[in-house]
Amino acid sequence: MAKASGSVRSQCPYCGVGCGLELMPPAQPGRAVSRDAEGTPMWTARGDRQHPSSLGQVCIKGATVGETLGLDRLTHPQYRASLDEPFEPISWEAVFDLLVGRIRSTLASRGPGALAMYGSGQFHTEDYYIAQKFLKGALGTNNFDANSRLCMSSAVAGYSRSLGSDGPPCCYEDLDHCKVVFLIGTNTAECHPVLFQRLLKRKRRQPDSLTIVVVDPRATETSKVADIHLAVTPGSDLALLHGLAHLMLRGNGIDGDFVDEATEGFAAFASLAAEWTPERTARFCGISIAKLRKVARLWSRSDAVLSLWSMGVNQRREGTAVVGGLINLHLLTGQIGKPGAGPFSLTGQPNAMGGREAGGLSHLLPGYRSVTNADHRRELEQAWGFAEGSIQSTPGLTAWQQVEAMEAGELDLWWVAATNPLVSLPNLERVKAAMARCPLVVVNEAYRSTESACYAHLLLPAAQWSEKRGVMTNSERRVTYCPAFRDPPGEARPDWQIWAELARRLGFEKQFSYASSAQVYEEFAALTAGRLCDVSGLSHALLQAEGPQQWPFSVGSTPGAESKRLYTDHCFPTPSGRARFMAEQPRGLAEPPCDVYPLVLTVGRYLGQWHTMTRTAKVQRLQAMHPEPLLEIHPEDAKRFGITDGGLAAINSRRGGVTAIAQVSDRIRPGTVFLPMHWGFSQPQSCEANLLMHQLCCPVSKQPELKAAAVVVAPAVSVVKPLEQERGLLERLPRWFSSSVH
């Protein structure tokens, strides 16, 4: 297929597969002008055949992204002194005056700890980097956290503990070489569709060359193609992994040479695994001993095992331990650092990987560095031109700790950017109350009507993907340049430019004067030299000329000659050079079911919706695929609680209640129910699943257990609607005037 006239190449702004897109201008020779739902000319997307990660493939979200870009945009800054008032437009000049005044007064009266920012894996790397330099360097607070705390932080912590550093060691080509693929806590078919199609194609072509194992309490589109589906009890994965290790150890199914030469901590792990007999494991996980044995045999006899995981593993109060348990199996059998093998975390958001590289969590600094490491702090203080001691030596507040700080009246300013916490954080009533207490909530947002905007004082219009230049890194460590090919609507600005301007006005003229985002990237890239995530040889210019590249890519690297895999030499970035076995006892769920709340609610995603629906709800085809949220419930539970298929059900937890139409199905385990996360209170079919969820988290990664809360269900007579208060807040959002954006 020839390149379309005037088209540009970019990375898809949705999931972490990071497919290449080719974007075509509204007018194409011989074709009617493409228009969005409002009749405005729009760019259209198709798969980019030249992108090495996706080879021309694309899913329905990527293919329809053009329809989302111009509608319902926030075009001008808006301010109100209190939530009772409607928003009024204000100038950028007045925005900066207000922010400079408020930040200066907080710094003088309470110190930088009363300022916090909550960002997103949907930033470009440049946005992430400038936010770190601004908060951690210029303002002197580590209170920057991102929605990756809800997403990838257990993977970050798990990789770091077991292997010595963050960084997925595998690549997508491994899907073509593995003999066994172990999918645990991932609904790849709906959430990483292009990767799933790659697997499926192979399975269809050569069914005997690949065995698919799926571990998920639900039967999903992913488990449909599984040779073995282990429908474990929610939260029992660590026991499962120890039980598999037990059988591998007993059956001589391990790689003794690898264990001897490349690992440490084996003895403690082996004695822990010895306790997880098949009988005990099967009982704990609610599966058969026969299936357990079959999987252990398969794994230890295969010469290439690839495991893929995402939120079913990370969103656990023992998320880091489960990641460790999974890596243990790879170490035990030497399944790492070779084609078709390794522990591969599927990143959720399009640039959550870039965020990790840029230091976008409250304990990190750019270049996979840590705030607790004195050398790392000094390196950055020097590079950035701040006095020694400017960067705090203790981690800042995590996402949930920022909420608690607002509750306690300890924050003067909460700055939210490219995330919609009033749908996606757990225990939503507490978040709403906390935000209502905070004197100044700033929200950088691309769209006009989001749940979080309802609780903001200052709304800043963000130029989004397609309107700003920057890079993103996908799950296989591949960096893609994303060009600006449309004008931002109204006065919208890229997130990084908002912070750089503010920093300059606060007196950091020298540190924040950039001519372009290319310069921002150049500065960041230089800081990664010699680190595991070395991108010092990359630049906007190189990525534009040579196309997407995988890291490590140090200065002088040859484009295209990429390091597909990490750890091929079996040397790990730990002090001893050896990877570490982790030995932790399973603890189960933070909030187990009980007599009053006898069911476990798990919350996840639908193929055609993206998170809080600010974009996907604007696409008719996607809305038609999933017009409303459904409660999946097993026939036995439905009978027990009087729920009928298609009937309205009330779902209650210790924290609140919602209603949803029930879908009675034996696809889900008895005792477990499922709701999608997508429908917030601004949606006509509102179903705030996170009203029900708790915030209890993994002690290491601080990632909340967003996959399990105890609930009770009952037939409902009427739909739970957003509260009067929220309806009022929605009415006070800025009005939108179609601005012919294209």
Residues that bind Mo ion (CB under 5 A): 151, 348
What does the alpha-carbon distance between residue 419 and residue 79 come to, in Å, rounded to a whole number? 19
Q: Does 19 bind ligand SF4 (CB under 6 A)?
A: yes
Which is closer to ligand MGD, CB of 136 or CB of 316?
316
3-class DSSP assignment, residue 738: coil
Binding characters for ligand SF4, 167-206, by CB under 6 A (x = yes): -------------------------xxx------------
Binding characters for ligand MGD, 448-477, by CB under 6 A (x = yes): --x-----------x-xx------------
Q: Least distance from C-beta 14 to ligand SF4, angstroms? A: 3
Nearest to 285 by CA among 565, 41, 589, 56: 589
715 CA to centre of own chain: 34
The interface region with ligand MGD, picked from 178-186, 300-308, 500-508, 573-581 by CB under 6 A, is 178-186
By CB under 6 A, what part of segment 126-155 binds ligand MGD?
Answer: 147, 150-151
What does the alpha-carbon distance between residue 14 and residue 607 come to, in Å, rounded to a whole number? 12
399 binds, among ligand MGD, Mo ion, ligand SF4, none (CB under 5 to 8 A by kind): none
Residue at 714: amino acid letter = A
The interface region with ligand MGD, picked from 284-292, 306-314, 388-396, 644-652 by CB under 6 A, is 306-314
CB 417 within 8 A of CB 144: no
Q: Does 281 bind ligand MGD (CB under 6 A)?
A: no
The H-assigned helical ranges of 506-556 are 517-527, 540-546
At residue 325, φ and ψ (nearest 5 deg) are: -65, -35
Q: Among residues 34, 612, 659, 703, which is the contact residue for ligand MGD, using CB under 6 A?
A: 612
The site for ligand SF4, by CB under 6 A, has a size of 14
Nearest to 115 by CA among 341, 442, 434, 342: 442
Neighbouring CB atoms inside 10 A of 347's CB total 29
Q: Least distance from C-beta 476 to ligand SF4, angstroms? A: 12
Q: Does 682 bind ligand MGD (CB under 6 A)?
A: no
| Pairing mode, strands 458-461 and 440-445 | parallel
Name the closest residue to Mo ion (Cβ): 348
Instruction: Indicate the DSSP class of residue 692.
Output: T
Q: Does 431 bind ligand MGD (CB under 6 A)?
A: no
Q: Least distance from C-beta 146 to Mo ion, angstroms? A: 10
Q: Does 602 bind ligand MGD (CB under 6 A)?
A: yes
446 binds, among Mo ion, ligand SF4, ligand MGD, none (CB under 5 to 8 A by kind): ligand MGD
Contacts of residue 728, defined as CB under 8 A and 6 or more positions apart, other chains included, come to none
Q: Does 149 bind ligand SF4 (CB under 6 A)?
A: no
Both tokens of 555, joined, read: 């200065």
Specify the DSSP element, H or E, that contains 57.
Answer: none
Report the DSSP beta bridge partners of residue 440: 413
Contacts of residue 491, defined as CB under 8 A and 6 or more positions apart, other chains included, come to 75, 76, 77, 92, 461
Q: How far apart are the first and last CA of the chain?
A: 25
Query: What separation in angstroms does the CA of 90 have from each of 320, 412, 456, 460, 722?
Result: 45, 21, 14, 10, 29
Nearest to 424 by CA among 119, 157, 183: 119
Q: Does 622 bind ligand SF4 (CB under 6 A)?
A: no
Which is closer to ligand MGD, CB of 345 or CB of 528?
345
Q: Least distance from C-beta 624 to ligand SF4, angstroms? A: 18
The interface region with ligand MGD, picked from 279-287, 439-447, 469-477, 657-665 by CB under 6 A, is 439-447
Instruction: Indicate the DSSP class of residue 407.
Output: H
Q: Does 234 bind ligand MGD (CB under 6 A)?
A: yes
Q: Among residues 25, 26, 62, 676, which is the contact residue for ligand SF4, using CB under 6 A?
A: 62
Binding stretches for ligand MGD (CB under 6 A):
15, 120, 122, 147, 150-151, 184-187, 190-191, 215-218, 220, 232, 234-235, 237, 310-312, 315, 348-349, 417-421, 423-424, 444-447, 450, 462, 464-465, 495, 602-605, 607, 609-612, 614, 677, 689-690, 693, 706-707
